[in-house]
Structure 1
Amino acid sequence: MSMRRASLRRGLTAAVLSGSLVVAGGTPAWADADAPDTTPPTIVSTGMTEGQFAPAVFLFTPTVTDDVRVSSVLVLIRGYIQGGCQLRTDGLWQCRAVLTSAIVPDETPIDITLRASDASGNKTEATTRVRANNTPPTGAVSPVRGTSMHSGTVAITLTDVSSDVVRVVSSEGAELTAAPWSFPWQAVNRAKSPSFDLYDQAGNKTTLATGYIVDDDAPVIQSAVSLATYMDTVLDGGAGWVGDAGTLTAAVQDASPLRYEWWVDGALKSTGQYFYWRTTGMTARTANVELKVWDAVGNSASRSYVVNIDNKPPALGSITPAHHALIRGSRFTTTIRVSDPNGLAYSNLQGADYRNVEPGKFTTVSLASGRDGTRRFTWLVIDRLGNYTTYSRDVIVDNTLPTLRLTKAPRNKSMLKTTTRIAAAAGDRNGVARIQLLVNGKVVATASRTAYSFALNPKKYGKTFTVQLRAYDRAGNVRYTGKLTYRR
């Protein structure tokens, strides 16, 4: 039985092997697979020449091939990537290497390596030693930059040009390859001035701008104004005003820089765009002002103005309290009224707690010491032209009560049958204003002379009534005597 099984197993194995050979022989499993790409790209030319000058931004065109496809080209300096290459539409690679002075000192030999790679990762490198020349050329223009000029032919010369400059190209298309670097230019009014590109032997480029101003037009004085603290006025038409101190200025249109002169009544007063004018001491109410301007090439213009002068501060109408007025308490109210032809702009009670209700109609509360004595308050007022002045007043603070005592009166709780005299004595450093007789708390008589005497008729009052005296000083302080009770 075991021999039979072994024979069967050998037959099956032979059949399987036979079938495998047939399949393998008919169609091999690796017949459609591509052969691996092991060929690296070829750098036919680096696009550089040994020892050539290389600028700060170095552009060059290498020639690189591959049997399949070049996938990338990199630029390496000292083993680090310092640039890259792009494939142009014409099939060439355009490379860019950065050789600024921060990377390579000027006039230093440096190796630039190209690393070309294909899609399979095969790489090829090629190195060329060049000489860094990363300092851009220098130069200047004559006439100097920003010069103003009239129209006409101008000879522009480049001066102090670097010795390694090999080409200069103007923005108008003219080109020179050797000194003297001189270009004729036809200047036209308001035309844009040319610029010049300087190229050295390494290819570094510097652009020199001229910034010339071609100006055949006279300045145009558009407007002139007087600048005041709180009011600006236009000078044209005789409407302009200036105060004790003011500033005149003008808006002038011109292509080139300007020179100014301000004349007042035929005398030169200022040579700047802003004329700071002090009219202190002038009594005339108007002045003739002339503005003259010249541009950088000598074109000129002028205008005259009649300017009104108000160099007087606001005039005082009234102020309260009056000078040496008596006040009492810890605060007092002061008001001021002023007038000015150009209007009041600002007011302030100096050194005080205040509220400004309306310019020219002030109601201001000022702190006053509770101690008796003289207190000065000062108003500052400013008109719209900046003229200002102060007005001061002294007030007398009196918070001391007057003295008051009875000199004649019936004894307390007495019975009164007929009219009785009540007299008193009072005093105050600033004067007693009046003494009043109060019966049952109501004023029945007032005395304002120094002989303070009252007649008391008990028949006018009830069976029982009270009598008291009250004294006021001129500041309004009040003192009472004690109450006396009488019967009738």
Structure 2
Amino acid sequence: MKFIVAAAFATSATVLAATPALAGPSLHTRAASIAPSAAAGAAGAVSIVTGTGLTEGQLLPQYPQVRPVFADGVTVSTAEVLVNGVLAETFTAPVPADLRFSWPDPVKLHDTDAAVTIRASGTDGSLGEASTRVRVDILAPQATLTPADRAIVSGVVPLQVASRHPDVARVEVRAWGGRIVGTADRAPWIVNWNTAGLNGSTFLMVNVYDHAGNAWPLGRDYEVDNAGPSVKSITPAHGSLVRGAVRTSISASDPSGIASASVRGGRATASPYTWTAKPTAQGPFTVEWTVTDKLGHRTVARRTVINDTVKPAVRVTRAPKKGAKLTKSVTVTAAAADRYGVARVQLLVNGKVVATDTKAAYAFTLNPKRYGKKFTVQIRAYDRAGNVTTTTRVTYRR
């Protein structure tokens, strides 16, 4: 089946086809300016039109153009295109090489033979005309294209045109800006589009031409996905201190969707993509995620954390002697150290935290009046990874 391509389609098809702009006539009139009898010239005179530029039976499309041949040494002042004797276009000096014209009654002329006549006059008064009988075909071949509009594509994409009309002659694919992506001149009308180097939304114009040159335009937007998933975040943060186990998670997205995500040494997980890794050595440990999209593209993302399972060192540096009787407030001081830093030191009375200090040197005030006649005191230290050390209990009286 073929359809008349509306002016809007014709315009969109030619925007990307990178064809020259329609060269309109210098003067367009429906009244013949060259009298037929004059154009014929006197008997034996040489016509200044030596050819129409067409061949007998040639197919002409909805928007035709001709390149007539004029006699050498003659400057043409006026040229006319007539269809079956009806004036279609008039051109005045400077007359363009290609004469573009419109059919006087395109619907009526479709699928019929028509006589195209070129009639001209020269600046020296010479006249002439020539005619060729052609076949009029103003309908473009309707077609469909796969993949569908807005499809997600990757790598080399076979663009296939399907048409029920037998008159398809050529398929041409152009990128935005007019660059030719590829062409096909025979069934099954496939153009392989190499998307290497592209990513994101990409527009293509596919023109399906028949033998007359009519074009059926198929503009398509595709989402090209040649990259691996985009990683938004990974936990824990780079340089985090962990204590023997790393509960890690990853957030990623991709136009084609996420197929899987896995940590090195662990199985693939489903959303929300979490895993617990268990480093064995002290110090830096790399968490390596591999995220794969549904097209098979992968992204590897890494985070380095610090494994620290060593407890901090802590000792009491000043305090009453063990078993001492306390009648008033006293000061207890402590020292703590750790390779990756001390987070806090606490004073415990009877096993309960009564004071916390986060700055060295660590000092606490112990008021015996707040406790019973007999109580115990300890110092507890935490490092930044969460490891903890507690001193032995010391008993006091009041």
For Structure 1 versus Structure 2, the TM-score category normalised by the shorter chain is 0.5 to 0.7
After the TM superposition, which residues 132-143 of structure 1 pair with which residues of structure 2 at under 5 Å, given as runs?
Answer: none
| Corresponding residue for residue 232 of structure 2 | 317
1:91-130 superposed Cα distances (whole Å, 9 cap, x missing partner): xxxxxxxxxxxxxxxxxxxxxxxxxxxxxxxxxxxxxxxx
After the TM superposition, which residues 294-309 of structure 1 pair with which residues of structure 2 at under 5 Å, given as runs?
Answer: 304-309=218-223
Aligned residue for 2:339, secondary structure, equals coil
1:259-280 superposed Cα distances (whole Å, 9 cap, x missing partner): 9966342414476847353241
Q: 1:326 to 1:320 in 2, by over 3 A?
A: same
1:349 equivalent in alignment to 2:262:
yes
Between the aligned partners of 1:224 and 1:482, the Cα distance in structure 2 is 77
After the TM superposition, which residues 214-225 of structure 1 pair with which residues of structure 2 at under 5 Å, given as runs?
Answer: 221-225=143-147
Equivalent in 287, 301, 304 of residue 203 of structure 2? 287
Equivalent in 326, 330, 333 of residue 416 of structure 1? 326
Higher relative contact order (CA 8 A, sep 6+): 2
Query: C-alpha displacement at 1:336, in angstroms?
Result: 2.1
After the TM superposition, which residues 46-445 of structure 1 pair with which residues of structure 2 at under 5 Å, given as runs?
Answer: 221-225=143-147, 234-235=148-149, 239-243=150-154, 245=155, 247-250=157-160, 252=162, 263-265=173-175, 266-269=179-182, 273=190, 275=192, 277-281=194-198, 285-290=201-206, 304-311=218-225, 313-329=228-244, 331-340=245-254, 342=255, 344-354=257-267, 356-358=269-271, 361-362=272-273, 364-384=274-294, 388-445=298-355
CA RMSD of aligned residues (A): 3.7
| Corresponding residue for residue 82 of structure 2 | none
Q: Which amino acid aligns with 1:240?
A: A
Q: Structure 1: which 5+ runs fail to align?
A: 1-217, 226-233, 295-299
| Corresponding residue for residue 74 of structure 2 | none
CA contact 2:143–2:216 (8 Å) conserved in 1: yes
1:470 equivalent in alignment to 2:385:
no
1:120-143 superposed Cα distances (whole Å, 9 cap, x missing partner): xxxxxxxxxxxxxxxxxxxxxxxx
Between the aligned partners of 1:223 and 1:262, the Cα distance in structure 2 is 12
Larger CA Rg, structure 1 vs 2: 1
Between the aligned partners of 1:313 and 1:370, the Cα distance in structure 2 is 31
The TM-score normalised by the length of structure 1 is: 0.44
Q: Structure 2: which 5+ runs fail to align?
A: 1-139
Between the aligned partners of 2:170 and 2:297, the Cα distance in structure 1 is 27
Q: Which amino acid aligns with 1:321?
A: P
Q: 1:350 to 1:255 in 2, by over 3 A?
A: farther
Query: C-alpha displacement at 1:337, in angstroms?
Result: 2.2
| Corresponding residue for residue 133 of structure 1 | none
Between the aligned partners of 2:231 and 2:304, the Cα distance in structure 1 is 16
Q: Which amino acid aligns with 2:222?
A: N
Between the aligned partners of 2:366 and 2:268, the Cα distance in structure 1 is 49
Between the aligned partners of 1:473 and 1:306, the Cα distance in structure 2 is 60
Q: Which amino acid aligns with 1:434?
A: R
The TM-score normalised by the length of structure 2 is: 0.53
Between the aligned partners of 1:339 and 1:390, the Cα distance in structure 2 is 13
Query: C-alpha displacement at 1:380, in angstroms?
Result: 2.9
Identity across aligned pairs (percent)? 35
CA contact 1:349–1:380 (8 Å) conserved in 2: yes
Aligned residue for 1:459, secondary structure, equals helix
After the TM superposition, which residues 447-458 of structure 1 pair with which residues of structure 2 at under 5 Å, given as runs?
Answer: 447-458=357-368
Q: Which amino acid aligns with 2:239?
A: H
Q: 1:353 to 1:388 in 2, by over 3 A?
A: closer
The alignment of Structure 1 onto Structure 2 pairs a total of residues equal to 250
